[in-house]
Protein backbone atom coordinates (compact mmCIF):
# COMPACT_ATOMS: atom_id res chain seq x y z
CA UNK A 1 0.00 0.00 0.00
CA UNK A 2 2.65 2.52 1.04
CA UNK A 3 4.89 1.41 -1.81
CA UNK A 4 2.00 2.09 -4.18
CA UNK A 5 1.65 5.58 -2.75
CA UNK A 6 5.37 6.20 -3.10
CA UNK A 7 5.19 4.96 -6.67
CA UNK A 8 2.24 7.28 -7.30
CA UNK A 9 4.07 10.31 -5.96
CA UNK A 10 7.22 9.41 -7.86
CA UNK A 11 5.34 9.05 -11.14
CA UNK A 12 3.50 12.32 -10.52
CA UNK A 13 6.80 14.07 -9.93
CA UNK A 14 8.14 12.47 -13.11
CA UNK A 15 5.06 13.60 -15.05
CA UNK A 16 5.39 17.18 -13.82
CA UNK A 17 9.12 17.10 -14.59
CA UNK A 18 8.57 15.68 -18.09
CA UNK A 19 5.87 18.28 -18.77
CA UNK A 20 8.29 21.01 -17.68
CA UNK A 21 11.10 19.57 -19.79
CA UNK A 22 8.83 19.29 -22.83
CA UNK A 23 7.58 22.86 -22.41
CA UNK A 24 11.15 24.13 -22.11
CA UNK A 25 12.27 22.16 -25.16
CA UNK A 26 9.36 23.54 -27.19
CA UNK A 27 10.20 27.12 -26.20
CA UNK A 28 13.92 26.67 -26.79
CA UNK A 29 13.58 25.04 -30.22
CA UNK A 30 10.68 27.29 -31.21
CA UNK A 31 8.52 24.36 -32.35
CA UNK A 32 5.42 25.58 -30.53
CA UNK A 33 3.26 27.92 -32.58
CA UNK A 34 1.20 28.75 -29.49
CA UNK A 35 -0.79 31.62 -30.93
CA UNK A 36 -3.67 30.52 -33.12
CA UNK A 37 -5.46 33.75 -32.28
CA UNK A 38 -7.78 34.92 -33.68
CA UNK A 39 -9.46 31.78 -35.05
CA UNK A 40 -7.44 30.02 -37.76
CA UNK A 41 -9.14 28.04 -40.53
CA UNK A 42 -7.34 24.97 -41.86
CA UNK A 43 -8.73 22.90 -44.75
CA UNK A 44 -7.61 19.29 -45.10
CA UNK A 45 -8.85 16.09 -46.75
CA UNK A 46 -9.46 12.71 -45.13
CA UNK A 47 -9.04 9.59 -47.28
CA UNK A 48 -11.19 6.81 -45.83
CA UNK A 49 -11.64 3.29 -47.16
CA UNK A 50 -14.43 1.31 -45.48
CA UNK A 51 -14.08 -2.42 -44.86
CA UNK A 52 -16.58 -4.06 -47.20
CA UNK A 53 -16.18 -7.65 -46.03
CA UNK A 54 -13.58 -8.55 -48.66
CA UNK A 55 -11.22 -5.62 -49.40
CA UNK A 56 -7.81 -5.61 -47.72
CA UNK A 57 -7.03 -1.90 -48.26
CA UNK A 58 -9.47 -0.64 -45.58
CA UNK A 59 -8.70 2.23 -43.16
CA UNK A 60 -12.02 2.01 -41.25
CA UNK A 61 -12.93 -1.32 -39.68
CA UNK A 62 -16.04 -2.45 -37.77
CA UNK A 63 -14.88 -4.37 -34.71
CA UNK A 64 -18.11 -5.02 -32.83
CA UNK A 65 -21.85 -4.72 -33.04
CA UNK A 66 -25.12 -6.43 -32.28
CA UNK A 67 -24.83 -10.16 -32.81
CA UNK A 68 -26.69 -11.26 -35.91
CA UNK A 69 -26.67 -7.81 -37.58
CA UNK A 70 -24.49 -6.91 -40.55
CA UNK A 71 -21.93 -4.43 -39.22
CA UNK A 72 -22.13 -1.17 -41.17
CA UNK A 73 -22.03 2.60 -40.69
CA UNK A 74 -25.84 2.67 -40.74
CA UNK A 75 -26.43 -0.20 -38.26
CA UNK A 76 -27.12 0.92 -34.67
CA UNK A 77 -24.42 -0.11 -32.16
CA UNK A 78 -21.70 -0.92 -34.70
CA UNK A 79 -18.33 0.16 -33.35
CA UNK A 80 -15.51 1.19 -35.74
CA UNK A 81 -11.81 1.93 -35.41
CA UNK A 82 -10.17 4.08 -38.09
CA UNK A 83 -6.76 5.30 -39.23
CA UNK A 84 -7.20 7.49 -42.33
CA UNK A 85 -4.51 9.42 -44.21
CA UNK A 86 -4.92 13.22 -44.10
CA UNK A 87 -3.88 14.98 -47.31
CA UNK A 88 -3.56 18.56 -48.54
CA UNK A 89 -5.93 18.13 -51.48
CA UNK A 90 -8.82 15.85 -52.42
CA UNK A 91 -6.59 13.51 -54.43
CA UNK A 92 -5.60 10.41 -52.42
CA UNK A 93 -2.10 10.69 -53.92
CA UNK A 94 -1.57 14.29 -52.78
CA UNK A 95 0.89 15.08 -49.97
CA UNK A 96 0.00 13.43 -46.67
CA UNK A 97 0.36 15.69 -43.61
CA UNK A 98 -1.01 13.37 -40.94
CA UNK A 99 -3.44 10.67 -39.84
CA UNK A 100 -7.04 10.91 -38.64
CA UNK A 101 -7.22 8.24 -35.95
CA UNK A 102 -10.07 7.30 -33.69
CA UNK A 103 -13.24 5.42 -32.96
CA UNK A 104 -16.93 5.85 -33.60
CA UNK A 105 -20.12 4.03 -32.80
CA UNK A 106 -23.45 4.26 -34.60
CA UNK A 107 -25.35 5.90 -31.76
CA UNK A 108 -28.91 6.43 -32.97
CA UNK A 109 -31.46 3.63 -33.25
CA UNK A 110 -32.30 4.69 -36.82
CA UNK A 111 -28.62 4.42 -37.85
CA UNK A 112 -28.39 8.05 -38.98
CA UNK A 113 -26.11 9.45 -36.26
CA UNK A 114 -22.76 8.32 -34.94
CA UNK A 115 -20.72 9.40 -31.95
CA UNK A 116 -17.08 10.00 -32.82
CA UNK A 117 -13.88 10.67 -30.91
CA UNK A 118 -10.70 11.20 -32.92
CA UNK A 119 -7.31 12.85 -33.10
CA UNK A 120 -5.63 14.34 -36.15
CA UNK A 121 -1.96 13.56 -35.67
CA UNK A 122 0.12 15.88 -37.86
CA UNK A 123 3.30 14.30 -39.24
CA UNK A 124 4.22 16.90 -41.86
CA UNK A 125 3.62 20.49 -42.93
CA UNK A 126 3.60 23.53 -40.64
CA UNK A 127 1.74 21.67 -37.84
CA UNK A 128 4.05 18.62 -37.72
CA UNK A 129 4.27 17.13 -34.22
CA UNK A 130 0.95 18.68 -33.17
CA UNK A 131 -2.35 16.93 -32.52
CA UNK A 132 -5.93 18.15 -32.48
CA UNK A 133 -8.78 16.32 -30.71
CA UNK A 134 -12.23 16.13 -32.28
CA UNK A 135 -15.43 14.89 -30.70
CA UNK A 136 -19.17 14.83 -31.15
CA UNK A 137 -22.16 13.55 -33.05
CA UNK A 138 -22.03 13.21 -36.82
CA UNK A 139 -24.50 12.27 -39.51
CA UNK A 140 -24.04 8.99 -41.39
CA UNK A 141 -26.20 10.35 -44.21
CA UNK A 142 -23.89 11.10 -47.16
CA UNK A 143 -23.93 14.75 -48.27
CA UNK A 144 -25.09 16.04 -44.91
CA UNK A 145 -22.16 18.04 -43.45
CA UNK A 146 -21.06 16.88 -40.01
CA UNK A 147 -20.26 19.44 -37.31
CA UNK A 148 -17.98 18.38 -34.51
CA UNK A 149 -16.26 20.20 -31.68
CA UNK A 150 -12.57 20.57 -30.99
CA UNK A 151 -11.82 19.86 -27.36
CA UNK A 152 -8.07 20.14 -27.12
CA UNK A 153 -4.77 19.35 -28.73
CA UNK A 154 -1.02 19.61 -28.32
CA UNK A 155 1.82 21.90 -29.44
CA UNK A 156 0.31 24.32 -32.01
CA UNK A 157 -3.15 23.25 -30.81
CA UNK A 158 -2.42 23.36 -27.09
CA UNK A 159 -5.72 24.19 -25.31
CA UNK A 160 -7.47 24.38 -28.68
CA UNK A 161 -11.18 25.05 -28.94
CA UNK A 162 -13.31 25.35 -32.04
CA UNK A 163 -15.20 23.28 -34.53
CA UNK A 164 -14.74 21.03 -37.56
CA UNK A 165 -17.08 20.62 -40.50
CA UNK A 166 -16.71 17.36 -42.41
CA UNK A 167 -18.25 17.18 -45.88
CA UNK A 168 -18.32 14.12 -48.11
CA UNK A 169 -16.90 15.32 -51.42
CA UNK A 170 -16.59 11.90 -53.04
CA UNK A 171 -17.94 8.44 -52.27
CA UNK A 172 -17.06 5.71 -54.78
CA UNK A 173 -17.45 2.13 -53.56
CA UNK A 174 -15.54 1.85 -50.29
CA UNK A 175 -13.50 5.02 -50.98
CA UNK A 176 -14.74 8.14 -49.20
CA UNK A 177 -13.05 11.54 -49.36
CA UNK A 178 -14.02 14.02 -46.64
CA UNK A 179 -13.20 17.72 -46.69
CA UNK A 180 -12.40 18.90 -43.16
CA UNK A 181 -12.73 22.61 -42.43
CA UNK A 182 -11.13 23.23 -39.05
CA UNK A 183 -11.88 26.50 -37.21
CA UNK A 184 -9.74 26.74 -34.12
CA UNK A 185 -7.91 28.97 -31.69
CA UNK A 186 -5.95 28.44 -28.48
CA UNK A 187 -8.27 29.03 -25.55
CA UNK A 188 -5.44 30.19 -23.25
C1 LIG B 1 8.94 17.80 -35.36
O2 LIG B 1 9.78 16.99 -34.55
C3 LIG B 1 10.97 16.62 -35.23
C4 LIG B 1 11.73 15.65 -34.34
O5 LIG B 1 11.68 16.02 -33.00
C6 LIG B 1 11.78 17.88 -35.54
O7 LIG B 1 12.95 17.52 -36.23
C8 LIG B 1 10.94 18.81 -36.41
O9 LIG B 1 11.63 20.04 -36.61
C10 LIG B 1 9.59 19.10 -35.75
N11 LIG B 1 8.78 19.88 -36.70
C12 LIG B 1 8.04 20.91 -36.34
C13 LIG B 1 7.29 21.62 -37.44
O14 LIG B 1 7.93 21.30 -35.19
C1 LIG C 1 -9.64 -0.72 -52.35
O2 LIG C 1 -10.14 -1.96 -52.81
C3 LIG C 1 -11.43 -1.89 -53.41
C4 LIG C 1 -11.86 -3.27 -53.84
O5 LIG C 1 -11.34 -4.28 -53.05
C6 LIG C 1 -11.40 -0.96 -54.61
O7 LIG C 1 -12.71 -0.80 -55.13
C8 LIG C 1 -10.85 0.39 -54.22
O9 LIG C 1 -10.69 1.21 -55.36
C10 LIG C 1 -9.50 0.26 -53.51
N11 LIG C 1 -9.10 1.58 -53.05
C12 LIG C 1 -7.88 2.07 -53.19
C13 LIG C 1 -7.66 3.47 -52.71
O14 LIG C 1 -6.97 1.43 -53.67
C1 LIG D 1 -17.31 27.41 -36.10
O2 LIG D 1 -16.37 28.38 -35.69
C3 LIG D 1 -16.43 29.58 -36.43
C4 LIG D 1 -15.29 30.46 -35.97
O5 LIG D 1 -15.29 30.63 -34.58
C6 LIG D 1 -17.79 30.24 -36.21
O7 LIG D 1 -17.87 31.42 -36.98
C8 LIG D 1 -18.87 29.27 -36.66
O9 LIG D 1 -20.14 29.81 -36.38
C10 LIG D 1 -18.71 27.94 -35.95
N11 LIG D 1 -19.65 27.00 -36.53
C12 LIG D 1 -20.35 26.16 -35.78
C13 LIG D 1 -21.27 25.26 -36.53
O14 LIG D 1 -20.27 26.12 -34.58
Tell me the pLDDT tens digit for each residue of 15-25. 444 444 343 33
SS3 assignment, position 57 = coil
24 and 84 within one domain? no
The rounded distance, in Å, linking the Cα atoms of 72 and 78 is 6
Per-residue pLDDT averaged across 108-132, rounded? 96
Query: Which domain range does residue 24 map to?
Result: 1-30
pLDDT of residue 179 exceeding 90, the answer is: yes
44 and 107 together in one domain: yes
pLDDT over 70, % of the chain: 80
pLDDT of residue 35: 67
| Residue burial 119-152, b: 16+ Cβ < 10 Å; e: rest | bbbbeeeebeebbbbbbbebbbeeeeebebebeb
Minimal-distance CA residue to ligand 1 atom 9: 31
> Atom 3 in ligand 1: which residue has the minimum CA distance?
129
Q: Residue of the nearest CA to atom 7 in ligand 3? A: 183
CA distance 180 to 100: 11
The residue whose C-alpha atom lies closest to atom 3 belonging to ligand 2 is: 55
* 140-171 pLDDT, tens digit each: 876 678 899 999 999 999 999 999 999 999 99
- The reported pTM is 0.81
CATH number of domain containing 45: 2.40.480.10
The total number of structural domains that make up the chain = 2
Give the β-pairing of 131-139 and 146-154. Answer: antiparallel
- Please report which ligand is nearest the Cα atom of 128: 1
Is the CB of residue 26 below 6 angstroms from any atom belonging to ligand 1? Answer: no
If asked whether residues 119 and 176 sit together in one domain, one would say yes
pLDDT, averaged across the chain? 85
Asked if residue 43 and residue 7 are part of one domain, the reply reads: no
Length of the chain, in residues: 188
Q: Does residue 104 sit in the same domain as residue 163?
A: yes
Cα–Cα distance, 114 to 62 (Å, whole number): 13
Distance 188 CA to ligand 1 centre (A): 23
Tell me what pLDDT residue 102 has: 98
Q: Cα torsion at 103, 140, 42, 133 (round to 10°)?
A: -20
CB 138 within 8 A of CB 118: no
Say if residue 2 is in the same domain as residue 88.
no
Asked whether the predicted pLDDT for residue 65 surpasses 90, the reply is yes
Quote the CA–CA distance of 120 and 131 in Å, as a whole number: 6
Q: So what's the pLDDT on residue 36?
A: 76
123 pocket-lining for ligand 1 (C-beta < 6 Å): no
Amino acid sequence: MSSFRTLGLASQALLVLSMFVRASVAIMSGTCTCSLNPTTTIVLYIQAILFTGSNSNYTEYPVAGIQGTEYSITQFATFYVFDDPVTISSSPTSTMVGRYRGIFAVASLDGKVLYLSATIQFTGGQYANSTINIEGLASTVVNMPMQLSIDGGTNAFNNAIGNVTLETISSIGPNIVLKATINTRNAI
